[in-house]
Amino acid sequence: MSELFPMVPKIAFEGPLSDRDLAFKHYDPSAKAIGPVGGADGNATMKDALRFSMAFWHSMTGAGIDPFGSATMQRPWDGIADPMEVARVRMRALFELTEKLSIPFFCFHDRDIAPEGATLRESDRNLDTMVAFTKDLMKSSPTKLLWGTANLFSNPRYMHGAATSPEPKVFAYAAGQVKKALEVTKELGGQNYVFWGGREGYETLLNTDMKRELDNLARFLHLAVDYAKEIGFTGQFLIEPKPMEPTKHQYDSDAAACYAFLAEYGLLAHFKLNIETNHATLAGNTIQHELRFAREHGIMGSVDANQGDELLGWDTDQFPTNLYVCTLMMYEVLKNGGLHSGGLNFDAKVRRGSFKPEDLAIAHIAGMDSMARGCAAAARMLADGALERPLAARYAHWQSGIGATIASGKEDFRSLEAFALDITDFGLASGRQECLEAVVNRYL
């Protein structure tokens, strides 16, 4: 088969001193991974440990359109009229690029990989054709499916929501679409299945029965859990939090809101989270906050690795290159013992001006090198106890004396009042924030 990206060679690791754009400087796919992501036997490679993934929608279907301008991207499928042929060329391109970049996984929405038909039946037929084509490519490729998902937000039928639409026919259509997407994800060996509720929320409470919508969303997710069980799909279910965009208020607004929803509706046993950096910042949280919350509540599932722009308030989905953020992200991932069945999916698009085909490879290299550097820095911080030792010292008073008796439940308000009545010196220590920020900088 002829190459679709002849300008992109197989990308090699050349070390930090290399000045070639099309080379890895930090991500050495075959190097042994460090720390807790090295696998139970400590033998996993960096490639296995970081579990990078390419997002089909940004890299293969993204055209560079924005609200003020049309497509800019130069792509190998330009000029092909037949939508099914475009779909085939895109899928071949996905495999060619993931292999050249040593990216072990990809992710897709049902409607990314096959054109939508006039009916669900017709869309399913197109999808079946493309799934067979993809399965064939996978036979001779190392690239695997990290997760599949259904696009329940682009078509006008979803303008008021999918599972949370006021119209039950839309709920039914979305159910049919997710049923099929689950079958397809299983067929392609997907290790997870994602629900991102871009239209599950409201534009105004004046027309919204919020309780009914949340009940319906929970019912929908329970139906998905039941169907996965029925067909023997054993991948991990993930919810992807995002507070807004396209909808004004989205119900899965952040990790804590998702946790409360999953707990209330008896879904915690079945779901973890797919946490995205730019969604965290839209929610007014850092990615470290979101990952920390998820890790400490046992729901860290996977990561959509990207970044926003400090000066823009929307989801710009840029490739992650901020080393400080990458380090603190990987710190949480390492503390979690790795991502397990999850991965680091580049839910990121090249800028509209980065329209050349090679920019796609260069952008992924930039993201992979940045995450690899973050991983190495975080592993060194952990090995040295650079943050853990001061943290333990800060809370040391909970190990003995009144701290220990409070923590073990032996105190009540009366006993605590008696203890506190005459205290004048609390012996407070400095929070040492600037000192700790400087510690992190030493490892970057």
* Residues assigned a catalytic role: 109, 112
Closer CB to ligand XUL, 348 or 379, in the complex: 348
- What is the distance between the alpha carbons of residues 55 and 330, in angstroms, rounded to a whole number? 20
Q: Tell me how far, at minimum, the Cβ of 347 lies from ligand XUL, in Å.
A: 5
- The DSSP letter of residue 58 is I
Q: Which does 200 bind (CB under 5 to 8 A by kind): ligand XUL, Co ion, none?
A: none
E-state strands within 37-99: 52-55
- What is the distance between the alpha carbons of residues 433 and 102, in angstroms, rounded to a whole number? 39
Q: Tell me how far, at minimum, the Cβ of 199 lies from ligand XUL, in Å.
A: 11
Based on the shown chain and the rule CB under 6 A, indicate whether residue 194 belongs to the binding site for ligand XUL.
Answer: yes
Largest CA distance in the chain: 83
* 63's tokens: 């055209």
Find out whether 145 and 185 touch, Cβ atoms under 8 Å. Answer: yes
Site for ligand XUL in 69-108 (CB under 6 A): none
Based on the shown chain and the rule CB under 6 A, indicate whether residue 254 belongs to the binding site for ligand XUL.
Answer: no
Among 252, 254, 315, 332, binds ligand XUL (CB under 6 A): 315
Q: Which does 242 bind (CB under 5 to 8 A by kind): Co ion, ligand XUL, none?
A: ligand XUL
- What is the distance between the alpha carbons of residues 220 and 226, in angstroms, rounded to a whole number? 10
Based on the shown chain and the rule CB under 6 A, indicate whether residue 348 belongs to the binding site for ligand XUL.
Answer: no
- What is the distance between the alpha carbons of residues 57 and 440, in angstroms, rounded to a whole number? 35
Q: Tell me how far, at minimum, the Cβ of 355 lies from Co ion, in Å.
A: 23
Find out whether 53 and 105 touch, Cβ atoms under 8 Å. Answer: yes
Based on the shown chain and the rule CB under 6 A, indicate whether residue 196 belongs to the binding site for ligand XUL.
Answer: yes
Q: Tell me how far, at minimum, the Cβ of 436 lies from Co ion, in Å.
A: 30
E-state strands within 33-179: 52-55, 105-109, 144-149
Closer CB to ligand XUL, 13 or 61, in the complex: 61
Q: Tell me how far, at minimum, the Cβ of 315 lies from ligand XUL, in Å.
A: 5
Closer CB to ligand XUL, 200 or 240, in the complex: 240
Q: Which does 112 bind (CB under 5 to 8 A by kind): ligand XUL, Co ion, none?
A: none
Residues 130-149, mask of contacts with ligand XUL (x by CB under 6 A): -------------------x
425-434 long-range contacts (CB < 8 A, ≥24 apart) are 429/393, 429/394, 431/394, 432/390
Q: Tell me how far, at minimum, the Cβ of 149 lies from ligand XUL, in Å.
A: 5
Q: Which residues bind Co ion (CB under 5 A)?
A: 276, 304, 347
- What is the distance between the alpha carbons of residues 332 and 325, in angstroms, rounded to a whole number? 11
Q: Which does 108 bind (CB under 5 to 8 A by kind): Co ion, ligand XUL, none?
A: none
Based on the shown chain and the rule CB under 6 A, indicate whether residue 304 belongs to the binding site for ligand XUL.
Answer: yes
| Neighbour-count burial for 209-231, b at 16+ CB within 10 Å, e otherwise | eeeebbebbbebbeebbeebeee
Based on the shown chain and the rule CB under 6 A, indicate whether residue 240 belongs to the binding site for ligand XUL.
Answer: yes
- What is the distance between the alpha carbons of residues 271 and 224, in angstroms, rounded to a whole number? 11
Contact residues for ligand XUL, defined by CB under 6 A: 57, 109, 149, 194, 196, 198, 240, 242, 276, 304, 315, 347
